[in-house]
Amino acid sequence: MRFGSIAVIACLAALVGLLAYGVASKQTDTSIDQAVASGKRIDAPLATLPVLGRSGSASLADYRGKVVVMNFWASWCKPCIEELPLLERTQRVIAGRGGTVLGVNYKDVSTDALAFVHRFGLTYPSLRDRDGRLADRYASRAFPETFVIDRRGRIAARRRGPVDQRWLDATLPRLLAEHA
Amino acid sequence: MTLLALVLVMFAAAGPASLPDVEDEVMCVECGTALNISQSAVADQERAYIRREIARGRDKQQIKAGLVREYGPGVLALPDDGGFNLAVYLVPGVLALLAAGALALAARRWRRGGREPAAEDPGPQLAAADERRLDAELAAFDR
């Protein structure tokens, strides 16, 4: 076979490979859901992000030793806004028991997000995931989404969709009772 | 005339932006489509942000910079040059090189084909006896 033909076939194979990689990389990662469903706890992905409404940045790692109710939300997401009062009530209950709610504000205009923080008097912090990279690592696809991280930094529960009091009551007490 | 056109272009570039002017250069950050064809809650928020910035007298570049501050560089219609997105820049170049190579090869073959015509087809061969008879008959016609 001549060199020209080999080169053309190699280039076509490379293009097909590139296309296959592109398609494969867009597949939804289900490892977190599978782990939670089987009762396994895997390390929660970490990222250092700017804090909403304050200077400086923070990471989930800063909350090691606490039970963290990590809630992905955005001001343009109506169900996210509807659950903010419940999350604030939860914060008031768990703050004294070694837990915290941690908002992760997703692809949002900071002033719009802060307007809701003030409107609902949210006392828990929110990090700004402005380009959605942290959400990608949690394979987030339908907002709001909430992940409960145990005191050792592992994902113990997840809720893809709005949380309700019953789910929080079934999830948080046993985790708050655990030691680091 | 050229100077006037230049001044008008400079004025247009530095002046306040319009929504359609910005919309076609940014993406809906959640839908993955250009903002001017996107209908979603986050697209509405982006448009509201752009309108607010226009009302504040910001030009297009300032608005785009503000959008990047809020949503990250992915909000720009031009993708970044990292990771898989690098393919957006590399693949057209590779394809252009391949096309140029194929054209050069085709041109070379065509030129070579022009200089060296294919050997003429001699047609079916006559048997020696038939050839002698044909020669004799042709010679008879010549007489």
Instruction: Give the C-alpha distances (Å, rounded to integers) separating A156 from A68, A125, B56, B85.
Output: 10, 21, 46, 34
Residue of chain B minimizing CA distance to A141: B30
* Cβ–Cβ contact A169 with B under 8 A: no
Q: For B45, which of A18, A22, A76 is closest by C-beta distance?
A: A76
**Can you tell me the distance from the alpha carbon of B68 to that of B78, in angstroms, rounded to the nearest whole number?**
12
How far is B115 from chain A, CA to nearest CA, in Å?
Answer: 22
Give the tens place of pLDDT for each residue, A81-129: 999 999 999 999 999 999 999 999 999 999 999 999 999 999 999 999 9
ipTM, 2 decimals?
0.80
**Can you tell me the distance from the alpha carbon of B132 to that of B128, in angstroms, rounded to the nearest whole number?**
6
Report helix angle B86-115 to A3-25, nearest 10: 160
User: How many A-B residue pairs are in contact by the CB < 8 A criterion?
Assistant: 46
pTM, rounded to two decimals? 0.72
**Can you tell me the distance from the alpha carbon of A78 to that of A98, in angstroms, rounded to the nearest whole number?**
30
SS (H, E, C) chain B: CHHHHHHHHHHHHHCECCHHHHHCCEECCCCCCEHHHCCCHHHHHHHHHHHHHHHCCCEHHHHHHHHHHHHCHHHECCCCCCHHHHHHHHHHHHHHHHHHHHHHHHHHHHHHHHHCCCCCCCCCCCCHHHHHHHHHHHHHHHC
Give the tens place of pLDDT for each residue, B72-129: 999 999 766 667 767 777 788 888 888 888 888 888 888 887 665 556 677 778 888 9
Residues of A in contact with B30 (CB under 8 A): 107
Residues of B in contact with A109 (CB under 8 A): 45, 49, 70
Residues of A in contact with B45 (CB under 8 A): 75-76, 108-109, 112
Give the tens place of pLDDT for each residue, A156-169: 999 999 999 999 99
